[in-house]
């Protein structure tokens, strides 16, 4: 069914049978991001699906946030939920592992797999394909194949001849918290001779997170032994505890296949059973795999792109694949879901609920990309966020994970995502309801320094950690909400929020031209060093960044930032310096600050818009050169260095997708895209209502990066930006590129993209 491309190292690069060069599945290489600090997983999922059925090689440590790292040589088992590219770990629900011989109840250490049910494996024996994963477990000599539907996972275990074959279902398995299992409570029962059901509540990144399952095997076990605290217990009734396991025993002949199908739910085991009956009613593995393949082919075909090299095409389509793994579905087939209030709610007919919104990251490029090529999902994404804000004791979502609020990162960028969708006119969104919850956060709640922000115009560094970054994030949130206020006719509130969105200016120190923290008495916080995380060791003044990156962290008002510097020339000198000063970081810098070019950090999101700021200052050719360099150096088709930093549920990939197409949303709520340098040779996007947006690139050499001219929908343009409304329903973009900068193109101040304007 699969053919290997032997020139590529590590696990097998799977090409679906019959796939030709035009098939986008051919170009997805899921090994990208499995090493380094990408934090990706290799297993089976559907686009935006609730199930991510994937191997776990370890369940602790920063580089195992997804449960897998390519440096490992043994596998613990296969669990049903995983995070894609996050900087914090969780999930890994309901591990299943196959074995033969003596049963082992613990996974054992990586240093000695023989101590537990963990098995050695080789990357040469892995096969990766969108919606499918396979590996040979060397110790029991069991071939494992995995595929999935939206809410179910289907396993295929090919056993050797054995009188002592077994499958273990480990409910204590989790991403570790404080060195131990994060499972707070669990329940497990045998509801039929071939069926187990139960669930657990975990306290890790997401506190008191509920997940449930129903699991059925294709062959009735000769016996099932239940364990609590790794001691055999009676199978009568429902087991309860925090360390529950079940071992299903079989006698197998050579190459005998045992299937496992599992439904999951955030509501109940009964909900998981409904999902299983609806989505995986039989044992036809190849049918399910083919269905997953079709779903991925349809998803990846939303963009047909051609590139000068196969490597770039692999990077592009793998990025589109990663961008399509989240936000994740979080409802049952009957429309029930667990809300942020821990209560069970019923969705309106046809609606869906989603979770795993890495908002501090994804509001920048992933959600703008969804508004372009994933328009039919945008209302569900946004309505999920509005419901969360209404139901959650924590208010506006910050980083929601399966019915819990992790509160991770600064700002409350659910407001940014909601506002962007409303401004772009997506139907089926209650703007009044959205405005109520957003204004409650903006104007009333004393959340993370917002009281200081409203009272003083800035957050004092001696009163609140990460004060500078929080102020910058709140400025953007204010500006985002102001757009909705204007759309609803609340002009006075819109103007108040717009003015307040310039509060970032309080931090600009003209003496050193950096954004420097301030104390509650208004004095500059000292000592100050622009590469440091903060002025003291008590806490940081910046969020995963320093003064170099944060000084350019003004997405919605670049013109105002340029004015603070005294005009274009001094601003450009400082921006040039950002990319050329030494990349030195202090010892306490978080590892997220990665992908360094000078003090620009492409591996972390606060830097993602910065290369495009040259366009606002009249030197778009510098944006073109820098963006092309970043695409060439920060992304490739290898596991370890394929992504410069954490994938972050699609954001790192979305930056590449948009930049490769030739534009980027510096301030997404504005609806404006700023030109860069297209990497594609040609692309056709299926945008809203199924219409086509064609991107044509004319150049005599693929190395040419400089825009000589730009034509939009047949009209030659002098500006280096355009609005979402000009392409949202299809159109044509023509770039003419050459080897040298066109220093006349889009240079005049009146041609700069708008700043601070409410659309």
The answer to whether 685 and 720 have CB atoms below 8 angstroms apart is no
In a domain, 578, yes or no: no
The answer to whether 424 and 724 have CB atoms below 8 angstroms apart is yes
Task: Please enumerate in sequence order all residues whose Cβ is within 8 A of that of 648, keeping only pairs 6 or more positions apart, or say none.
Answer: 85, 86, 87, 358, 361, 362, 605
**CA 202 – CA 626 distance, rounded (Å):** 44
Residue 489, pLDDT score: 98
Residue 345: CB atoms within 10 A of its CB come to 16
**CA 355 – CA 350 distance, rounded (Å):** 17
Q: What is the DSSP letter of 458?
A: S
Place of tokens 């030109």: 675
In a domain, 73, yes or no: yes
Residue 237, pLDDT score: 86
Place of tokens 């499918």: 132
Task: Please enumerate in sequence order all residues whose Cβ is within 8 A of that of 10, keeping only pairs 6 or more positions apart, or say none.
Answer: 31, 70, 123, 639
In a domain, 175, yes or no: yes
The answer to whether 357 and 385 have CB atoms below 8 angstroms apart is yes
**CA 581 – CA 547 distance, rounded (Å):** 13
Task: Please enumerate in sequence order all residues whose Cβ is within 8 A of that of 655, keeping only pairs 6 or more positions apart, or say none.
Answer: 364, 365, 608, 664
DSSP strands (E only) in 453-495: none
In a domain, 463, yes or no: no
The answer to whether 252 and 316 have CB atoms below 8 angstroms apart is no
**CA 162 – CA 140 distance, rounded (Å):** 10
Percent of the chain with pLDDT over 90: 95
**CA 405 – CA 388 distance, rounded (Å):** 9
For 622, the token pair is 């510098």
Task: Please enumerate in sequence order all residues whose Cβ is within 8 A of that of 148, keeping only pairs 6 or more positions apart, or say none.
Answer: 44, 45, 46, 49, 51, 52, 53, 131, 154, 288, 292
Strand partners, 643: 635
Q: Is the pLDDT at 2 greater than 50, yes or no?
A: no
Place of tokens 């959650």: 392
- Give the pLDDT mean for 387-416: 98
CB hemisphere CA count around 51 (13 angstroms): 35
- Give the pLDDT mean for 680-702: 96
pTM score of the predicted model? 0.96
For 32, the token pair is 């990208």
Residue-wise pLDDT tens digits, 49-68: 999 999 999 999 999 999 99
What's 171's domain CATH number?
2.70.98.10
Residue 359, pLDDT score: 98
For 308, the token pair is 């000068």
Tell me how many degrees the CA angle 366-447-495 measures, rounded to the nearest 5: 70
Residue 560: CB atoms within 10 A of its CB come to 16
- Give the pLDDT mean for 414-419: 98
In a domain, 644, yes or no: no
Q: What is the total count of domains within the chain?
A: 1
- Give the pLDDT mean for 104-131: 97
In 3-state terms the chain splits into helix, strand, coil percentages (rounded to 5) of 30, 25, 45
In a domain, 501, yes or no: no
Task: Please enumerate in sequence order all residues whose Cβ is within 8 A of that of 146, keeping only pairs 6 or more positions apart, or say none.
Answer: 43, 44, 53, 54, 78, 132, 133, 134, 153, 154, 155, 156
Residue 375, pLDDT score: 96
Q: Is the pLDDT at 10 greater than 60, yes or no?
A: no
For 709, the token pair is 């001219």
> Which domain covers residue 179, as residue numbers?
27-300
Cis peptide before 327 (omega within 30 of 0): yes
pLDDT grade, residue 627 (50/70/90)?
A: very high
Percent of the chain with pLDDT over 70: 97
Residue-wise pLDDT tens digits, 121-166: 999 999 999 999 999 999 999 999 999 999 999 999 999 999 999 9
Residue 3, pLDDT score: 29
In a domain, 192, yes or no: yes
Residue-wise pLDDT tens digits, 580-621: 999 999 999 999 999 999 999 999 999 999 999 999 999 999
Q: Is 259 helix (H, G, I), strand (E, B) or coil?
A: strand
Q: Is the pLDDT at 277 greater than 90, yes or no?
A: yes
526: left (phi over 0), alpha (psi -120 to 50) or beta: beta
Residue 18, pLDDT score: 52
Residue 19: CB atoms within 10 A of its CB come to 18
- Give the pLDDT mean for 469-485: 98
Average pLDDT, the chain: 96
**CA 621 – CA 58 distance, rounded (Å):** 45
In a domain, 277, yes or no: yes
Residue-wise pLDDT tens digits, 43-53: 999 999 999 99
> C-alpha 182: how far from its chain's center?
23
Residue 759, pLDDT score: 75
- Give the pLDDT mean for 634-654: 94
Strand partners, 130: none
Residue-wise pLDDT tens digits, 544-582: 999 999 999 999 999 999 999 999 999 999 999 999 999
Query: CA gyration radius for the chain?
Result: 26
Nearest to 316 by CA among 699, 726, 655: 655
Residue 369, pLDDT score: 98
According to DSSP H, which parts of 618-702 are helical?
Answer: 620-634, 651-661
For residues 561 and 21, which has the higher predicted lDDT (pLDDT)?
Answer: 561
The answer to whether 342 and 208 have CB atoms below 8 angstroms apart is yes
pLDDT grade, residue 394 (50/70/90)?
A: very high
């Amino acid at each position: 069914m699969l053919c290997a491309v032997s020139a590529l190292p590590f696990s097998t690069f799977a090409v679906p049978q019959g796939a030709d060069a035009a098939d986008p599945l051919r170009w997805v290489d899921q090994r990208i991001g499995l090493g380094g600090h990408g934090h990706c997983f290799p297993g089976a999922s559907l686009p935006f699906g609730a199930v991510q059925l994937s191997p776990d090689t370890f369940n602790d440590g920063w580089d195992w946030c997804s449960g897998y790292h390519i440096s490992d040589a043994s596998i613990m088992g296969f669990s049903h939920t995983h995070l894609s590219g996050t900087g914090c770990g969780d999930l890994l629900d309901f591990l299943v592992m196959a074995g033969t011989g003596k049963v082992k109840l613990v996974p054992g250490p990586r240093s000695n797999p023989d101590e537990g049910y963990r098995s050695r494996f080789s990357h040469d024996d892995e096969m990766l394909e969108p919606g499918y994963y396979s590996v040979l477990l060397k110790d029991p000599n069991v071939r494992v194949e995995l595929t999935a539907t939206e809410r179910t996972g289907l396993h295929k275990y090919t056993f050797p001849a054995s009188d002592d074959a077994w499958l273990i279902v480990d409910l204590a398995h989790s991403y570790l918290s404080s060195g131990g299992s994060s499972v707070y409570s669990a329940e497990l029962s045998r509801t039929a001779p071939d069926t187990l059901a139960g669930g657990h509540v975990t306290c890790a990144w997401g506190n008191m997170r509920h997940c449930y399952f129903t699991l059925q095997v294709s062959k009735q076990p000769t016996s099932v032994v239940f364990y609590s605290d790794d001691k055999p217990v009676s199978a009568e009734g429902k087991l309860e505890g925090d360390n529950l396991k079940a071992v299903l025993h079989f006698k197998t002949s050579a190459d005998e296949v045992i299937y496992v199908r599992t439904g999951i739910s955030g509501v109940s085991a009964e909900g998981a059973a409904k999902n299983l009956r609806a989505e995986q009613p039989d044992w036809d593995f190849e049918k399910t795999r083919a269905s997953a393949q079709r779903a991925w082919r349809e998803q990846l075909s939303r963009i047909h792109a051609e590139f000068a090299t196969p490597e770039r095409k692999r990077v592009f389509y793998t990025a589109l694949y990663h961008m399509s793994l989240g936000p994740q579905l979080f409802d049952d087939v009957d429309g029930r879901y667990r809300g942020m209030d821990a209560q069970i709610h019923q969705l309106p007919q046809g609606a869906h609920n989603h979770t795993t919104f890495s908002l501090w990251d994804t509001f920048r490029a992933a959600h703008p990309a969804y508004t372009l090529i994933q328009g039919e999902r945008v209302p569900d994404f946004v309505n999920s966020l509005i419901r969360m804000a209404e139901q959650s004791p924590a208010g506006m979502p910050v980083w929601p994970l399966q019915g819990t609020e992790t509160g991770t990162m600064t700002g409350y960028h659910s407001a940014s995502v909601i506002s962007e969708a409303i401004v772009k006119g997506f139907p089926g969104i209650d703007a009044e309801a959205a405005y109520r919850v957003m204004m409650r956060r903006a104007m009333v709640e004393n959340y993370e320094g917002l009281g200081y922000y409203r009272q003083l115009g800035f957050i004092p560094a001696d009163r609140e950690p990460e004060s500078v970054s929080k102020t910058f994030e709140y400025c953007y949130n204010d500006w985002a909400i102001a757009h909705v206020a204007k759309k609803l006719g609340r002009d006075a509130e819109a103007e108040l929020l717009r003015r307040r969105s310039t509060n970032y200016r309080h931090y600009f120190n003209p003496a050193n031209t950096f954004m420097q923290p301030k104390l509650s008495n208004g004095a500059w916080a000292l000592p100050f060093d622009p590469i440091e995380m903060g002025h003291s060791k008590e806490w940081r003044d910046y969020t995963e960044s320093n003064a170099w990156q944060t000084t350019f962290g003004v997405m919605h008002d670049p013109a105002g930032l340029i004015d603070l510097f005294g005009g274009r020339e001094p601003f450009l000198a400082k921006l040039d310096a950002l990319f050329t000063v030494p990349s030195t970081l202090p010892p306490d810098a978080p590892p997220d600050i990665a992908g360094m070019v000078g003090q620009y950090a492409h591996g972390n999101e606060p830097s993602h818009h910065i290369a495009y700021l040259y366009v606002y200052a009249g030197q778009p050719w510098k944006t073109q050169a820098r963006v092309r360099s970043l695409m060439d150096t920060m992304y490739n088709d290898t596991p370890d260095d394929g992504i410069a930093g954490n994938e972050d549920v699609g954001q790192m990939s979305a930056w590449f997708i948009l930049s490769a197409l030739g534009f980027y949303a510096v301030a997404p709520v504005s609806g404006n895209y700023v030109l860069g340098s297209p990497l594609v040779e040609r692309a056709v996007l299926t945008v809203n209502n199924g219409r086509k947006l064609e991107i044509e690139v004319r150049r005599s050499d693929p190395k040419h990066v400089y825009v000589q001219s730009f034509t939009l929908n047949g009209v030659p343009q002098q500006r280096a930006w355009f609005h979402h409304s000009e392409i949202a329903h299809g159109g044509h973009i023509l770039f003419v590129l050459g080897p040298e900068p066109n220093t006349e193109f889009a240079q005049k101040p009146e041609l700069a993209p708008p700043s601070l304007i409410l659309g």
